[in-house]
Amino acid sequence: MRESRVKIEEVLASKGRVKVLKAIINSGEINLTQILHVTGLNYRTAVRHIDFLIKAGLIEELRIGRARIYRPRWIDPRIRLLEELLSEF
C-alpha cells in the first residue's frame, strides 16, 4: 500500500484519531475490540481513523487468520516523535 504524506494538523485534527493513535502506540499491538474498549469510540468511527492512519503510513495492520492486529510503524521516525508528544498528554 502506498502511504501518503499528511500534515501534523491532519493527524491531530480529531480527538478520536488521537485516541486511536495513542491506544496503538501505548499498547504496541492491539486489536479493534481493544481499541473500541480503550477509546470509547464506536466501530465505524474507529475504523475510519484506523484507515486514515494506515494510509498516512503511521500504523500497520497484521492479519493473523481472521484477526487484525494494529501496531505503530516504528521504522517511521514520525511515529517516534508522535509517541514522545502523546506521552506528555
Match domain 9-87 to its CATH number in 3.60.15.10, 1.10.10.10, 3.40.50.12780, 3.30.450.40. 1.10.10.10
Q: Report pTM.
A: 0.91
Place of cell 481472521: 66
Place of cell 480527538: 15
5 pLDDT tier (thresholds 50, 70, 90): confident
Q: What is the sign of the dihedral through the CA atoms of 65, 70, 72 and 76? A: positive
Phi then psi for residue 40, to 5 deg, are 75, 10
Contact of 3 with 11, CB cutoff 8 Å: no
Domain borders along the chain are: 9-87
* Per-residue pLDDT at 2 exceeds 80: no
Instruction: Give the model confidence (pLDDT) of 15-73 as tens digits.
Output: 999 999 999 999 999 999 999 999 999 999 999 999 999 999 999 999 999 999 999 99
